[in-house]
Amino acid sequence: MQFGSDSKMLFNLLRRTFSHEILPAIRHYSSTAPIVTSGSEQVLELLSEIYTRGKDYGFHTDYFKNLQQENIIVEYSSPNIAKMFHVGHYRSTVVGNVISGILSAAGHNVCKMNYLGDWGVQFALLALSYKKYGNPTALKEKPLFHLYELYVKISKEAEENLQIKEEAQEVFLDMENGNADALQFWKCCRELSISEYKKLYHSIGVEFDVFSGESMYIDKSREVLEILKEKDLLYWDNGALKINLAGSKWLSKSPQIYQHPVLARKNGTSLYLTRDVAAAIDRFNDYKFDRMIYVTDISQAEHFNQIFAILEKMGFPWADKNTEMLMHVGFGRIHKMQTRKGNMTFLHDLLEDAYQKAHEDRLYCKTRKMPLTPKDDVTKIVALSGLIYHDLKARLSKGYNFNLEAALASKGSSGLFLQATHCRLCSLEANAGVHCIPQVDVDRILSEPSLVELIEHLNKYTTMTKTLYETLEPCILLRYLFDLCHLTAKALIPCTVKGADIADAQARLLCFYCAKTILGNGLRLMGVPPLVKM
């Protein structure tokens, strides 16, 4: 087997350490040896390497070249059709996207997968609701909204009316048995929702390679039950079919209640957990993954431990905990997420609010360089940069209070500060009056303490990317970029380019050009395109 490499072990060890403890690693890369003391040749070499590699700078080092290329599935976002796109789905989308980006940049073959909650009794309820209150035009025009509306209505009714619940169970049983009529409506909901989600994801720069879903694993979860029965691993308890997972390494730290999960109901309909087990097996068969990473809210941690423990019991070598091929990245909760319409129900509302806020701010911004047009792309990127930075700036296991004002603040630790610095550097280059060249008089740099500080920071980028890869903690990147912008601002005050003596101007411009290159690379890694003007 090609997994189990030392680097993977180290990777997981680091992840565990960093996610539990304070994060000294946030600036772990600070321990990089100073470059200035190694001599001016090294300084020039660093700058010309950044200059020539450009967009590729950061993951080009021997460390990354020597990694064994892996097939990695990253499963994230995974909303439930007809239900709310809640803050957990939002955070999973942001975090999963940046994690996939880091792994791809490191040279792995990444499959970005969305595992839709597209199955369950809710679809039977929905079908009943549609029969009573459905509106075909609304379904076509605003599918996510209409389905949600229908679902809320029928759920309320079902709470008071037992008959509806029973009817829904019957319809669901029909669906599970493959009844074409019962499945027709479900299929239509699924297709409309996926196409709607694709548009939304596209608007925030997120693309999936695969839209999978729970519905694909009805038959296969029956097969899972058969295998487990044959192995004599199941037992009946209070009308439910359970498995005993006591003793599994995956659950060694879990409370006892998680050690005997239910895998099937009396009427034989499938369950979330069983479908997940079937899906994992299927993915291994299809992709032969070396690693599979699930990104969800930390509250699902035990669910994933159960999946992994069941797979291990079934005897799959890749589910052995020591191989570290299965991994759940859990993140903390977002609190106080409110949109102008109230609690967040749809991703669209959050994006719209962020866009509006960014638009208003830009409207009154005195230093704005670009004309404002409705549905302006720059405003969209500004809003998105603010949201992503707000989400990723602390370590993942930490939750945070959502605050749109803070997310879109133009100063301090924010996404806008990064974009504004990038724009500032682009404009400096455009108005420098000299061309940026990689051969400069290094002494002109070394005599400026603020430039030396900046260069020392640039020199830490490749150590940072390594730590980032090993821990998958995006806050390490954000911290680095924030420091970079801060040091750039500090150096820009004494080290003017325009109007300076030509040798000074060229030396300074090269430093700022390299800062811009790295900042741009970092922003792309964070999931946003760097802006040139705003």
Stretch that binds ligand ARG, among 74-82, 389-397, 417-425, 461-469 (CB under 6 A): 74-82
Q: Give the β-pairing of 334-335 and 400-401.
A: parallel
| Residue 422 falls in the annotated catalytic set | no
Stretch that binds ligand ARG, among 25-33, 75-83, 325-333, 435-443 (CB under 6 A): 75-83
Stretch that binds ligand ARG, among 72-80, 133-141, 191-199, 327-335 (CB under 6 A): 72-80
Q: How far is CA 47 from CA 51, 268, 325, 432, 437, in A?
A: 6, 65, 38, 18, 10
- Provide, rounded to whole angstroms, the least separation between the CB of residue 280 and ligand ARG: 8
Q: What would the two tokens of residue 108 be?
A: 């792995």
CB nearer ligand ARG, residue 215 or residue 296: 296
Please check whether residue 164 is in contact with residue 157, taking contact to mean a CB–CB distance below 8 angstroms.
yes
CB nearer ligand ARG, residue 250 or residue 294: 294
Q: Which of 193, 10, 181, 203 is nearest to 93 (CA)?
A: 203
- Provide, rounded to whole angstroms, the least separation between the CB of residue 41 and ligand ARG: 51
Site for ligand ARG, residues 78 to 117, rule: CB under 6 A: 78, 80, 115, 117
CB nearer ligand ARG, residue 350 or residue 445: 350
Q: How far is CA 529 from CA 280, 377, 418, 430, 532, in A?
A: 33, 11, 11, 19, 9
- Provide, rounded to whole angstroms, the least separation between the CB of residue 294 and ligand ARG: 6
Please check whether residue 509 is in contact with residue 436, taking contact to mean a CB–CB distance below 8 angstroms.
yes
| Residue 86 falls in the annotated catalytic set | yes
Stretch that binds ligand ARG, among 73-81, 188-196, 447-455, 485-493 (CB under 6 A): 73-81
Can you tell me the distance from the alpha carbon of 485 to that of 308, in angstroms, rounded to the nearest whole number? 42
| Residue 296 contacts ligand ARG per CB under 6 A | yes
- Provide, rounded to whole angstroms, the least separation between the CB of residue 22 and ligand ARG: 29
Among 294, 308, 402, 417, binds ligand ARG (CB under 6 A): 294
Total residues contacting ligand ARG by CB under 6 A comes to: 8
- Provide, rounded to whole angstroms, the least separation between the CB of residue 75 and ligand ARG: 6
CA–CA–CA angle 31, 510, 435 (5° rounding): 170
| Residue 108 falls in the annotated catalytic set | no
Can you tell me the distance from the alpha carbon of 49 to that of 455, in angstroms, rounded to the nearest whole number? 13
According to DSSP, the residues that pair with 414 across neighbouring strands are none
- DSSP alpha helices (H): ranges in 399-501? 404-407, 415-430, 443-446, 449-458, 461-471, 474-492
Which of these is catalytic: 8, 28, 60, 89? 89
Which of these is catalytic: 8, 28, 86, 393? 86
Instruction: Note the residues at the interface with ligand ARG (CB under 6 A).
Output: 75, 78, 80, 115, 117, 276, 294, 296
Residues annotated as catalytic (active site), given as ranges? 83, 86, 89
